[in-house]
Amino acid sequence: MTIAYQGHEGAYSHLSCQRVFPGHQAIACSSFREAMRIAERGEADMAMIPVENSTAGRVEEIYRLIPEMQLHIVGEHFEPVNHCLLARPGTTLTDIKTVVSHPQALAQCANHIEALHFLPQARLDTAGAALEVSQRNDHSYAAIASTLAAELYQLTILKDNFQDMSGNTTRFIILSPSPVVPKLEQDKTYITSVLFRARNIPAALYKALGGFATNGVNLCKVESYISGGGMNSSQFHVDIEGHIHQRPLQRALEELSFFAEETRLLGTYPAHPFRANCAFRD
């Protein structure tokens, strides 16, 4: 089995691939689009793609890419983010003048960076920053990246849990070119993801979502964004608590179809255990 991800080896997406699919080949890609495209073409069995972070919010690019591609969500994974301060062996904290990483990682460690009087510099991704530091013959540079990046690029972890806030978590979706609907088991929780565009009529969105309330179906997430180059049509991505074979969800989707156009089922998949603490519920 092969699974594509965006970033250099050692990125948090790579780490997630190893946690969910240990022993399987992970394919590094230069962009989210490339990772999703090779999965769509069948050159990889799946793609591991981040969609939101508990500190930084949603990854907007992904919600714009999903409608363009014929991929199906077959799973989700919540990855705790442990930012580490990495440097070449032999480096001490007093040697460091500059720290490099992805802008989001720098922002999530801003207080610690300021306290240590480091100069932050942005890079395209965390693992790429770690690779850069490993190739520099300069002890004044450090990187913020994962423990996997430290292992791969033979860097020393000077500080673990370098982020300012604990509990920082990224949600990933697992995409496949073929749909996989798990068997409905009554003692398990499922998520069903749907795309739709509300009709251009008064109260269309209110009525479209009202069917979930009247059928006792919980909406875990609603994302809206303008699509198609126009300014008068919004697309919605909804994550719903329920299995597509459960009758209440089926009735809610039937009501949705009266007030929406271009409705598309993205997939039904087991809810990750992390959801039990309600961290990502509206």
Distance CA 5, CA 17 (A): 8
Q: How long a stretch of residues is the chain? A: 282
Residues 88, 73 within the same domain:
no
Q: How many domains does the chain have?
A: 3
Residues 73, 89 within the same domain:
no
Residue 276 confidence (pLDDT): 82
Q: What does the buried/exposed string (b/e) look like for 228-245 if buried means 16 or more CB atoms within 10 Å of the residue's CB?
A: eeeeeeebbbbbbbbbbe
Q: Give tens-digit pLDDT for 33-70.
A: 999 999 999 999 999 999 998 877 888 889 889 999 99
Does 108 map to a domain?
yes
At residue 229 the predicted structure's pLDDT band, cuts being 50, 70 and 90, is low
Does 164 map to a domain?
no
Residues 7, 54 within the same domain:
yes
Beta strands 72-80 and 169-176, pairing class? antiparallel
Does 184 map to a domain?
no
Residues 208, 259 within the same domain:
yes
Does 72 map to a domain?
yes
Tell me: pLDDT of 147 over 60: yes
Residues 64, 124 within the same domain:
no
Written as one letter, the residue type at 31 is S
Mean pLDDT of the chain: 92
Residue 225 confidence (pLDDT): 78
Which is more confidently placed, 280 or 196? Answer: 196
Where residue 173 falls (left for φ over 0; alpha for ψ -120 to 50; beta otherwise) is: beta
Residues 206, 269 within the same domain:
yes
60 and 105 Cβ atoms separated by less than 8 Å: no
Sole residue written with tokens 């399987």: 24
Catalytic residue list: 170, 172
Residues 93, 153 within the same domain:
yes
Answer positive or negative: Cα dihedral of 209, 248, 194, 60.
positive
209 and 169 Cβ atoms separated by less than 8 Å: no
Does 97 map to a domain?
yes
258 and 205 Cβ atoms separated by less than 8 Å: no
Residues 61, 118 within the same domain:
no
Percent of the chain clearing pLDDT 70 (strictly above)? 96
Residues 6+ apart with CB under 8 A from 254: 211
Q: Give the SS3 label for residue 38.
A: helix
Beta-bridge partners for 191:
241, 269
At residue 234 the predicted structure's pLDDT band, cuts being 50, 70 and 90, is confident
Residues 271, 194 within the same domain:
yes
Which of 112, 146, 176 corresponds to the end of one domain?
A: 176
Beta strands 46-53 and 25-29, pairing class? unpaired
Tell me: pLDDT of 281 over 80: no
Q: Give tens-digit pLDDT for 68-127.
A: 999 999 999 999 999 999 999 999 999 999 999 998 899 989 999 999 999 999 998 899
Residues 108, 35 within the same domain:
no
Residues 258, 233 within the same domain:
yes
CB atoms within 10 A of CB 273: 9
Residue 198 confidence (pLDDT): 83
* CATH number of 7's domain: 3.40.190.10
For the chain, how are helix, strand and coil distributed in percent, rounded to 5?
Answer: 30, 35, 35
Written as one letter, the residue type at 183 is K
Distance CA 242, CA 248 (A): 9
Does 282 map to a domain?
no
Written as one letter, the residue type at 53 is N
Residues 71, 100 within the same domain:
no
Give me the half-sphere count of Cα atoms (radius 13 Å) on the Cβ side of residue 162: 27
87 and 144 Cβ atoms separated by less than 8 Å: no
Does 74 map to a domain?
yes
Which of 176, 204, 231 corresponds to the end of one domain?
A: 176
Query: Which domain covers residue 116, as residue numbers?
Result: 84-159
Distance CA 252, CA 202 (A): 20
Q: Give tens-digit pLDDT for 21-35.
A: 998 999 999 999 999
Does 183 map to a domain?
no
At residue 167 the predicted structure's pLDDT band, cuts being 50, 70 and 90, is confident
CB atoms within 10 A of CB 80: 12
* CATH number of 269's domain: 3.30.70.260
